[in-house]
Amino acid sequence: MPFLGILDINELKKLGKISYEEKAVLVIFNLIAFSWIFKSYFPFEISDVSIGILGVSALFIIPSKDKNFILNWDDTKELSWGTLILFGGGLALANGLESSGFINVLGEYIKHFSQGSLLIALIISVFCAMFLTEFMSNLALTAILIPILTVISISLYRLSF
């Protein structure tokens, strides 16, 4: 009988008891998630990136029963570094465009040429998104377009009243 419609209890029993290393990873992951959620309540300021790096660093420090540590550098050899660099590069590109003011300029440009029409603003935004996907990742494009569309929607909202 499937467990919650997903897992078979027999398959779950075949996995055996949870190991010390699995428990340690579970604790570290929960600490990272808890820290990301409740970081505003900390008595000091810490960024999401710092929380993530501290959590991963803990896996390189905590001793293991089988190996030296829970996570070794050899374990990262099969990591998809290209995907990781694409993800980080997309975030860096979006941050650079936002800090340079390009996003606000593009939002104002689209607002100006739409002349208060939501349909025209939407069409221009869609064509810009289609064009920009040729040069950047979807992550970077999303990080760029959300602030642009926010500027446009606020401007169009103010024009309607």
**Segment 23-48 mean pLDDT:** 93
pLDDT value at 39 more than 70: yes
More confident residue, 157 or 49: 49
Give 131's Cβ-side CA count (13 Å radius): 6
pLDDT at 161: 57
Instruction: Kindly tell me if the per-residue pLDDT of 111 is higher than 70.
Output: yes
Every domain of the chain and the residues it spans: 2-75, 88-160
**Residue 119 phi, psi dihedral angles, 5° rounding:** -65, -45
Give the pLDDT confidence score for residue 33 in this predicted structure.
95
Average pLDDT (5-28) is 83
- Rounded distance between C-alpha atoms, residue 159 and residue 116, angstroms: 7
pLDDT of residue 158 exceeding 60: yes
Alpha-carbon distance of 121 to 136, in angstroms, equals: 22
pLDDT at 6 > cutoff 70 = no
Task: Please report the pLDDT score of residue 85 as a whole number.
Answer: 81
Give the pLDDT score at 3. Answer: 52
Per-residue pLDDT, averaged over 27-44, amounts to 94
Confidence band, pLDDT 50/70/90 cuts, at residue 159: low
SS3 assignment, position 63: strand
